[in-house]
Amino acid sequence: MRRRTTQQPKKEIFINTTISETRIAILEDGNLIDLFIELPENERSVGDIYLGRVVNVVRGMRAAFVDIGQGQDAFLHFSDIGDSLAEYGAYLDLETATSETPKNNRRPIPREGQEILVQIIKEPISSKGSRITTELSLAGRFFVLVPYSEMIGVSRKVSNAKEKRRLRDLARSWRPKGFGVIIRTVAESKDEDLLRADFENLIKKWRQIEKKLKTLRPPSLAHKDLAMASTVIRDLFTNDVTRVVIDDARQYKSISQYLKEVSPNLLPKLEMYKGKRPIFDTYGIEQEVEKSMSRKVWLKSGGHLIFDHTEALVAVDVNSGKFIGRAGHDENSLRINLEAAREIARQLRLRDIGGIIVIDFIDMIDPKNKRTLYNEFQKELKRDRAQANISPISEFGLIEMTRERIRPSLLHSYSEMCHTCEGTGRIMSKASVLTKVERTIKRIKAISDEKNLKLEVHPEVADMLTNGLRSHIRRMMWKYWLRIDVIGKDSFKFDEIHCISRRTNKEIVLN
């Protein structure tokens, strides 16, 4: 009797770079499961290290607020303060640590006005500043270096005991005093020289930070982590990824060089996209991205989900919609709820929704069906890299949950507050409109031989496109070898775009 094996899903990474943004899509068996977006004015900041100054210590909140040079003061909870703070002259909080308190429960806390070295662990969201920690780390391909520590840890996913011992022994022999090390899963079975090069590179980076700190005055950036595309390659491009496809030559060259140094075995999986159509159109990703911005998401059964964002939480409503089942009410409700649970788990990842989430499933009476739904939803959430905690289904059919929030949700990345409705609705952000213009031009270039276009847009968009010597429209004309005349139309919506052929004087209609 043959043993049944579970087939690994086909995992692919697609990187789309335009003048206005970088987008990274991760697909499993052709389904979009993760989307990362980085805008020039809102670069990824998780992992950045700052020399800051404590501006306020609020003992009632067990937190301090630190000026790191951003718009809002960063938030430092006492639980995110490590023993390394003592290096900077901290003292113990006498209200929570006494001579009877166990030593491992005592926490050093900062003083107001104190200089402090911190690292961002969560990006600023809305009016909240970044969340920071004093427990610093530097991530490499195979190791995470932890200054002011003596610990050596190995990823739990490295299951072979002999390999774990080998990796731990290597790290112990290389580790200078005062440094801890976490050995990552991708280090398994790697050559010693390759591992050592990554380890020594991390030590070198830290020495550069130490040298830089001698000349810095707070608030100052002490270390900038890699850009988003590079961190995704560093952290997520593992052996189970089938391929990585990139549409930008400079990005391709940079990632190729990085892989040559740290994982040459992965180079054959790297591809340069040379198609005329936008890469996300070719692989059916664009439609999924647009769907993830929609308030309503349709299910295959005919039911649908509604996502509503409020200041305090995100509410998700499950509706049966067009579904007509032949079974009883509970069986029909369970079928829609199970499909909804899988799609909600996927959408939470895609939209990067964090904080408190309340889901209103369709009511069911049978406790067995409720348990089935709860277990299925919990199983789907385990596929998510962000931590999530869920409550049992309430008598009203609600599941309350929290999901780890690291960066702003997709909604906040792709849109901005509407000045007309003061927050009751949202419009596409300026950067996203500029990207939409470029995608429209690229699509026209792919389906026609037009050389001369009239581009009709909202006057504000026209101003953004044409402003400056190195304007967006100039760069697009050089990039796509087109002449484009931009015309502002007062009657247009902010994201409305019309392309007119100069040759035929007719609008070019795109499917």
Q: Which amino acid is at 108?
A: P
Q: How far apart (Å, rounded) are the C-alpha atoms in residues 367 and 268?
A: 51
Measured in residues, the chain has a length of 511
CA-CA-CA-CA torsion sign (278, 281, 283, 287): positive
pLDDT of residue 324: 61
The token pair that represents 509 in the structure block: 């209609």
pLDDT of residue 27: 93
Q: Above 90 in pLDDT, residue 377?
A: yes
pLDDT in tens, 223-259: 999 888 888 888 888 888 999 999 999 999 999 998 8
Q: How far apart (Å, rounded) are the C-alpha atoms in residues 357 and 401?
A: 5
Q: Above 90 in pLDDT, residue 292?
A: no
The DSSP 8-state label assigned to residue 148 in this structure reads: T
pLDDT in tens, 72-117: 999 999 989 886 665 444 444 434 444 444 445 556 788 899 999 9
pLDDT of residue 422: 54
Sorting pLDDT into bands at 50, 70 and 90, what band is 289?
confident
pLDDT in tens, 378-429: 999 988 888 899 999 988 889 999 998 877 677 666 666 665 455 656 778 8
Q: What percent of the chain has pLDDT over 90?
A: 52
Q: How far apart (Å, rounded) are the C-alpha atoms in residues 27 and 234?
A: 17
For the chain, give the mean pLDDT: 86
Check: CB of residue 245 under 8 Å from CB of residue 273. yes
pLDDT in tens, 139-168: 999 999 999 888 999 998 888 999 999 999
The DSSP 8-state label assigned to residue 264 in this structure reads: G
Sorting pLDDT into bands at 50, 70 and 90, what band is 495?
confident
pLDDT of residue 372: 94
The residues with which 315 forms a beta bridge, in sequence order, are 308, 358
Q: Which of 146, 239, 145, 232 is nearest to 186 (CA)?
A: 239
Q: How far apart (Å, rounded) are the C-alpha atoms in residues 256 and 16?
A: 16
Mean pLDDT of 132-143: 93
Q: Which of 131, 130, 133 is nearest to 110 (CA)?
A: 133
pLDDT in tens, 165-223: 999 999 999 999 989 999 999 999 888 998 999 999 999 999 999 999 999 999 999 99
Mean pLDDT of 276-284: 93
The token pair that represents 52 in the structure block: 């800051």
The residues with which 244 forms a beta bridge, in sequence order, are 13, 270
